[in-house]
C-alpha cells in the first residue's frame, strides 16, 4: 500500500497519532471546561467554534506539510527537529479541538455542524486521558513501542545481523524451508518486550476514548464510518463472505503447489498453510511466490519494463504518461509547480525518504509526488496510483477545510488502485508501449499475479482490527493476546504459525501497524472498493469486454462520473459518495468475483479431487 500525504487541515489531524498535549493545550482545556460549566453552550457557540477551528486547521496544515516535505527530502537533524515541532503543534491542537468538540455533544446543531464536530472528536487515533501524568505516560509508551520496532534486528545462527529490510528481501526469494523458518522466528523475537507496554497503552487510550464519550477505543475507531459502531464489523464480515469462495479456491491451489515444493509433511493438505512459506514476513500478500504457483504458458508475451526502455521512457516521461491517462478522462493537467517541486529521482547528494507518496501541501494547487522512480513496469503502475491521490486531492479542494479528505479512509487508497486496474494490455497498446494485445488465454497469469497480491491480502486486512477491537473491549485478555491472534489468522486466512507459539509471545507486535496504532480496516475497504469502482466506471464507459480487460482510458463519461464523486470529499457520508459512482449506498464485493471470474474457473478445474478448506 502506497502512502498518500495530505498534511493540510483536518487530514493532518486525522493522520496523526496523538499521545499527549502540552501545557498550553492543558490550560485551554481547563478554561474550556470552566466556561462550559458556567454557561450552556448553544448552536451559535458551535458555529463560532467551528469557524475559529477551521482557520487554525488551515494554517497548521500548510505549516506541517511544508515542514514534513522539507524533512523527507533533506534529512538532517535540523529538518527532523522542524518536522517534529510542527507535528507536536498539530497534535496538541487536535487534542484541544477534540475535547472542545465533545462539549457540544448535547447541543442541538445542524447536521453539517454535527458532522464537523464528530470529525474533530474522531481525529485522534490514540486519545490521551485528561490527567497530565497519564498523558505523559501514554506519550512515552508510544515512543518506546516505535523505538522497539524501528530498531529491530535479528542476528542469524551464522552470526549475520539483519534488518527487517534484509529479512524481507530474503523471505521474498528464498525457497529454503529452514532459512525461512529461522527468519520468521527471528523477527518475532523483537515483540515480546512490547506486550506490557501495549497492555498499559490500551488501558490509557480506552480511558481517553471514554473521556470523549466512547465505550472504548475500538468503538471510537469504528465510529468513523457513518454507521453505528456495532454494525461496522458485521458489514466487514458480510463483504468478506462474498469474497471468501474465491479466496478458498486460491488457498486450496496455493497450498497444493507448496506441498509439491516442500513436501506434504511440511505443508499438510488438510491444515492451514505455514505462515513462513508465502513470500512475505506476515503472509499478508503472496506475490513473491508467483514462480512456485504460476500457470503453465502464462507469459503474456511482453515485459513492460523492457518496453519502457525500448520506447525511451525516462522518469519524467513515465509521469507524463500517467498524467495523460487523467487528462484523457477530462481532468485538467497538473499545475506547472507539480513538475518544478516534485521529487522523481533519488538525489545523489543527499538522503531522502524514497517511499512513494502523493502530497497536497496547500489544499489548492500545490500537488506533488515524492518517489525515487525506477524505470520498471511496477513503478509505471505505481505512478498512476499516486497521481490518483493527487487528482482526488485537487477534486475536493473547494470543499470546507473539514471535508478536504476522502469519503472514508478506504476511498483514497481505493481510487489510486482503481486507476491502476486500467493499466491493461489494451491501454498499453493504445499508448504505444506494446504492439499487440495477448489473447484471453494469457489473462490467467496476469490474474494470478494480481490475486496473490490483492485477494490473498483481503482476510489479513480484515483480521488485524478484529483482533484489536477484541483487545480494546476486553474480550481478549492479555494472557490470550497471542492465542487470539493466531485463532483469527487461522479462521480468516487459513494460515498458521509454523511452530508452537508461547502465550507470552506477542506476534501482533511484529506487524508495524500494531505498535504504531495505525487503523487497518481502511486497507480492507480499499481492496473491496477499487474493484467496485472499476466495474462501475467500465459500465459507464460502455465496456463490452471482461472487466479484467477493461481500461477507462480516454473516456470522458467515466472521467466525469469519477470526478463527481471525488469532488464531494468527505462532505457527505461515504454511502452517498459511493452511490454517486455505483448507484448503491451499499458496498458489493461481487465486483471482485466478476473481475477474477476467469481465474476462479481455472482454479476450480485445478482443484478437482483435492481436499480444500482449513
Mean local confidence (pLDDT), 51-68:
93
Which of 5-14, 35-44, 459-468 is predicted most confidently? 459-468
Higher pLDDT, 280 or 28: 280
Catalytic residue among 92, 182, 323, 386: 386
Grid cell locating 172: 521474498
Mean local confidence (pLDDT), 580-605:
97
| Cα–Cα nearest to 597, from 531, 553, 524, 537 | 531
* Per-residue confidence (pLDDT) for residue 5, from 0 to 100: 47
Cα-based distances in Å from 336 to 347, 357, 362:
21, 19, 15
* Per-residue confidence (pLDDT) for residue 193, from 0 to 100: 96
* Per-residue confidence (pLDDT) for residue 85, from 0 to 100: 85
Q: Which residues pair with 359 in a beta bridge?
A: 5, 368
Grid cell locating 540: 459507464
pTM for the model: 0.90
How far apart are alpha carbons 125 and 497 in whole angstroms? 30
pLDDT band at 25 (very low <50, low <70, confident <90, very high): very low
| pLDDT-above-70 percentage for the chain | 94
Q: Which long-range contacts (CB under 8 A, 24 or more apart) does 561-568 make?
A: 561/536, 561/537, 562/329, 562/533, 562/537, 563/329, 563/330, 563/331, 563/395, 565/407, 566/391, 566/392, 566/395, 566/396, 566/415, 567/395, 567/396, 567/398, 567/399, 568/396, 568/399, 568/407
The domain ranges of the chain are 3-129
Grid cell locating 344: 522523481
| Cα–Cα nearest to 58, from 13, 121, 24 | 13
Grid cell locating 499: 511452530
| Cα–Cα nearest to 270, from 37, 494, 589 | 494
* Per-residue confidence (pLDDT) for residue 81, from 0 to 100: 86
Mean local confidence (pLDDT), 79-100:
86
Please answer whether residues 544 and 561 qualify as being in contact, where contact means their C-beta atoms are separated by less than 8 angstroms. no
The pLDDT tens digits of the residues spanning 252-277 come to 999 999 999 999 999 999 999 999 99
* Per-residue confidence (pLDDT) for residue 132, from 0 to 100: 83
Asked if residue 473 has pLDDT above 80, the reply is yes
pLDDT band at 131 (very low <50, low <70, confident <90, very high): confident
Asked if residue 351 has pLDDT above 90, the reply is no
Mean local confidence (pLDDT), 153-177:
95
* Per-residue confidence (pLDDT) for residue 39, from 0 to 100: 66
Mean local confidence (pLDDT), 458-477:
98
Give the count of alpha carbons within 13 A of 150, CB side only: 7
Cα-based distances in Å from 378 to 374, 383, 432, 452:
9, 9, 18, 15
Higher pLDDT, 495 or 129: 495
Q: What is the dihedral of CA 317, 564, 522, 447, to 10 degrees?
A: -60
The pLDDT tens digits of the residues spanning 566-575 come to 999 999 999 9
How far apart are alpha carbons 104 and 613 in whole angstroms? 51
* Per-residue confidence (pLDDT) for residue 300, from 0 to 100: 85
Asked if residue 426 has pLDDT above 90, the reply is yes
Helix axis angle, 23-38 relative to 77-102, nearest 10°? 10
* Per-residue confidence (pLDDT) for residue 427, from 0 to 100: 95
Mean local confidence (pLDDT), 61-72:
92
Q: Is 513 a catalytic residue?
A: yes
Q: Is 386 a catalytic residue?
A: yes
Mean local confidence (pLDDT), 388-399:
96
* Per-residue confidence (pLDDT) for residue 460, from 0 to 100: 98
| Cα–Cα nearest to 548, from 603, 593, 589 | 593
Amino acid at each position: 500500500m502506497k502512502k498518500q500525504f495530505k498534511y493540510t487541515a483536518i487530514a493532518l489531524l486525522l493522520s496523526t497519532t496523538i499521545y499527549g498535549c502540552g501545557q498550553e493545550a492543558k490550560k485551554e482545556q481547563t478554561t474550556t471546561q470552566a466556561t462550559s460549566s458556567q454557561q450552556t453552550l448553544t448552536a451559535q457557540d458551535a458555529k463560532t467554534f467551528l469557524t475559529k477551528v477551521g482557520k487554525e486547521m488551515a494554517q497548521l496544515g500548510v505549516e506541517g506539510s511544508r515542514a514534513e516535505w522539507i524533512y523527507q527530502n533533506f534529512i538532517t537533524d535540523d529538518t527532523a527537529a522542524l518536522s517534529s515541532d510542527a507535528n507536536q503543534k498539530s497534535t496538541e491542537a487536535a487534542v484541544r479541538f477534540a475535547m472542545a468538540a465533545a462539549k457540544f455533544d448535547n447541543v442541538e446543531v445542524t447536521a453539517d455542524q454535527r458532522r464537523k464536530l464528530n470529525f474533530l472528536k474522531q481525529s485522534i487515533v490514540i486519545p490521551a486521558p485528561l490527567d497530565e501524568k497519564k498523558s505523559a505516560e501514554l506519550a512515552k509508551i508510544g515512543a518506546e513501542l516505535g523505538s522497539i520496532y524501528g530498531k529491530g534486528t535479528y542476528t542469524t545462527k551464522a552470526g549475520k545481523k539483519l534488518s527487517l529490510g534484509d529479512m524481507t528481501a530474503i523471505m521474498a526469494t528464498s525457497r529454503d524451508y529452514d532459512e525461512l523458518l529461522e527468519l520468521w522466528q527471528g523477527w518475532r523475537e523483537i515483540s515480546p518486550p512490547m506486550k506490557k507496554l501495549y497492555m498499559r497503552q490500551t488501558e490509557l487510550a480506552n480511558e481517553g476514548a471514554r473521556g470523549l464519550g466512547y465505550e472504548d477505543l475500538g468503538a471510537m475507531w469504528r465510529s468513523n464510518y457513518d454507521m453505528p459502531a456495532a454494525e461496522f464489523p458485521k458489514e466487514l464480515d458480510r463483504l468478506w463472505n462474498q469474497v471468501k469462495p474465491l479466496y478458498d479456491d486460491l488457498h486450496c491451489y496455493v497450498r497444493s503447489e507448496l506441498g509439491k515444493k516442500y513436501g506434504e509433511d511440511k505443508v499438510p493438505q488438510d491444515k492451514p498453510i505455514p505462515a513462513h512459506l508465502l513470500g512475505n514476513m506476515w503472509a499478508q500478500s503472496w506475490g513473491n511466490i508467483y514462480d512456485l504457483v504460476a500457470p503453465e504458458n502464462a507469459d503474456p508475451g511482453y515485459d513492460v519494463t523492457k518496453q519502457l526502455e525500448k520506447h525511451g521512457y525516462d522518469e519524467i516521461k513515465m509521469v507524463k504518461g500517467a498524467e495523460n491517462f487523467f487528462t484523457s478522462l477530462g481532468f485538467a493537467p497538473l499545475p506547472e509547480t507539480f513538475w518544478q517541486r516534485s521529487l522523481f529521482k533519488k538525489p545523489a547528494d543527499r538522503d531522502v525518504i524514497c517511499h512513494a507518496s502523493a502530497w497536497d501541501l496547500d489544499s489548492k494547487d500545490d500537488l506533488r509526488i515524492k518517489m525515487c522512480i525506477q524505470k520498471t513496469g511496477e513503478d509505471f503502475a505505481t505512478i498512476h496510483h499516486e497521481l490518483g491521490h493527487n487528482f482526488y486531492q485537487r477534486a475536493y479542494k473547494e470543499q470546507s477545510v473539514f471535508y478536504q479528505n476522502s469519503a472514508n479512509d478506504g476511498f483514497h487508497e481505493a481510487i489510486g488502485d482503481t486507476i491502476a486496474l486500467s493499466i491493461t494490455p489494451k491501454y498499453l497498446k493504445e499508448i504505444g508501449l506494446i504492439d499487440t494485445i495477448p489473447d484471453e488465454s494469457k489473462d490467467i497469469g496476469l490474474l494470478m499475479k494480481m490475486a496473490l497480491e490483492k485477494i490473498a491480502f483481503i482476510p489479513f486486512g480484515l483480521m488485524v482490527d478484529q483482533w484489536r477491537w477484541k483487545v480494546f473491549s476486553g474480550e481478549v485478555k492479555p494472557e490470550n493476546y497471542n492465542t487470539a491472534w493466531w485463532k483469527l489468522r487461522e479462521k480468516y486466512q487459513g494460515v498458521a504459525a509454523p511452530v508452537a507459539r508461547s502465550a507470552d509471545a506477542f506476534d501482533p507486535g511484529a506487524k508495524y501497524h500494531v505498535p504504531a496504532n495505525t487503523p487497518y480496516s481502511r486497507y480492507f475497504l480499499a481492496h473491496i472498493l477499487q474493484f467496485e469502482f472499476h466495474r462501475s466506471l467500465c459500465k459507464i464507459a460502455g465496456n463490452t469486454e471482461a472487466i479484467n480487460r477493461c481500461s477507462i482510458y480516454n473516456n470522458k463519461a467515466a472521467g466525469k462520473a469519477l470526478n463527481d464523486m471525488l469532488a464531494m470529499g468527505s462532505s457527505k457520508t461515504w454511502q452517498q459518495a459511493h452511490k454517486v459512482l455505483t448507484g448503491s449506498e451499499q458496498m458489493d464485493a461481487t465486483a471482485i468475483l466478476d473481475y477474477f471470474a476467469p481465474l476462479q474457473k481455472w482454479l476450480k478445474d485445478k482443484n478437482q479431487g483435492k481436499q480444500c478448506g482449513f
